[in-house]
Amino acid sequence: MANMLRERHEQRKLKMEEMIQERKLKLADHKSGRKLLDDEEHERFNRQIVNFGRKLEQLNSMSEAEREEMIAHEVDMMDRMKERERDLFRRDL
């Protein structure tokens, strides 16, 4: 399970980079006049670039120990959730 979470963590970083690039391309298209955005979209894309960039920086700056601690915490939470589901299932029998 830990390996699955490590892979998901890496996929999340790649997705975050992809989303930043998509927003930047949309803003570049707007600036060049190819595809104009309304004010709300323009502001939202600018805000998302900043927010996604912060999150990506946070993910990239995690040490290996921090990453492993986060994964261990996620594994623990998943185990607890499975245990609760089993308990609920047993009560229903």
Residue 52 CB coordination number (10 Å): 19
| Structure confidence by residue, pLDDT tens digits, 31-45 | 999 999 999 999 999
| Alpha-carbon separation of residue 19 from 6, 13, 49 (angstroms) | 20, 10, 8
Q: Where are the domains of the chain?
A: 2-92
| Structure confidence by residue, pLDDT tens digits, 58-86 | 999 999 999 999 999 999 999 999 999 88
d(CA 65, CA 71): 10
Amino acid type, 48: Q
The pair of three-digit structure tokens given for residue 34, joined into one six-digit string? 């190819």
Return the half-sphere exposure (C-beta side, CA atoms, 13 A cut-off) of residue 30.
Answer: 16
Place of tokens 């998509």: 22
Model confidence at 27, in pLDDT bands (50, 70, 90)? very high
